[in-house]
């Protein structure tokens, strides 16, 4: 997450970027149902495996781009397909990465359109808020009820703990 300076590198290795992982589950018709976006410490195999163990069902099928650290996912899930995406910025592969690319674009636009300043420290909150709204979009009527239940039944917390966010997905 973050901007690209003019004449600077694009993508994962660009300076000023905050690493995060995104996953989108689709239904039989290929439409997105749920998503997960989490800030990660770095784009290493160990970090991606740790994230996968926490957030992916071991029976799911995962399609990733050809980024080498994603190769460890095959130890976590039943099926892992890696697709090389050279030239993805010129001709994006809409078949496999359309929804995850759409979600990343939507969350960037949502963050930039809502907040005056974007902090790396608060990125887990931004991503969590967007994911929660997306994942609960079919239960809009019950969302208020869920918030009220959480408000009533949650134990009191000191302010410093209340402000904490999940640091690494």
> Per-domain residue ranges for the chain?
20-162
In this predicted structure, the answer to whether residue 4 has a pLDDT above a threshold of 50 is no
The phi-psi region of residue 53 (left if phi > 0; otherwise alpha if psi is between -120 and 50; otherwise beta) is: alpha
In this predicted structure, the answer to whether residue 1 has a pLDDT above a threshold of 60 is no
C-alpha–C-alpha distance, residues 131 and 125, integer Å: 10
In this predicted structure, the answer to whether residue 31 has a pLDDT above a threshold of 50 is yes
Architecture of domain 20-162: 2-Layer Sandwich (3.30)
Paired with 63 in beta bridges are 81
In this predicted structure, the answer to whether residue 66 has a pLDDT above a threshold of 50 is yes
pTM of the model: 0.74
**21 or 85: which leads in pLDDT:** 21
Per-residue pLDDT, 69: 86
In this predicted structure, the answer to whether residue 122 has a pLDDT above a threshold of 70 is yes
In this predicted structure, the answer to whether residue 47 has a pLDDT above a threshold of 80 is yes
């Amino acid at each position: 997450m973050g901007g690209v300076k003019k004449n600077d590198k694009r993508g994962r290795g660009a300076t000023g970027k905050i690493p995060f992982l995104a996953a989108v589950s689709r239904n039989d018709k290929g439409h997105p149902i749920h998503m997960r976006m989490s800030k990660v410490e770095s784009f290493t195999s160990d970090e991606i495996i740790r994230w996968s163990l926490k957030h992916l069902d071991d029976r799911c099928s995962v399609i990733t781009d050809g980024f080498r650290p994603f190769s460890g996912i095959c130890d976590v899930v039943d099926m892992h397909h890696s697709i090389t995406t050279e030239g993805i910025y010129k001709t994006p592969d809409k078949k496999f990465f359309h929804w995850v690319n759409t979600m990343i674009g939507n969350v960037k636009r949502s963050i930039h359109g809502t907040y005056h300043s974007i902090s790396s420290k608060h990125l887990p909150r931004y991503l969590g808020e967007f994911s929660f709204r997306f994942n609960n979009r079919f239960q809009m009527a019950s969302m208020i009820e869920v918030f009220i239940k959480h408000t009533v039944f949650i134990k009191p917390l000191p302010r410093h703990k209340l402000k904490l966010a999940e640091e690494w997905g």
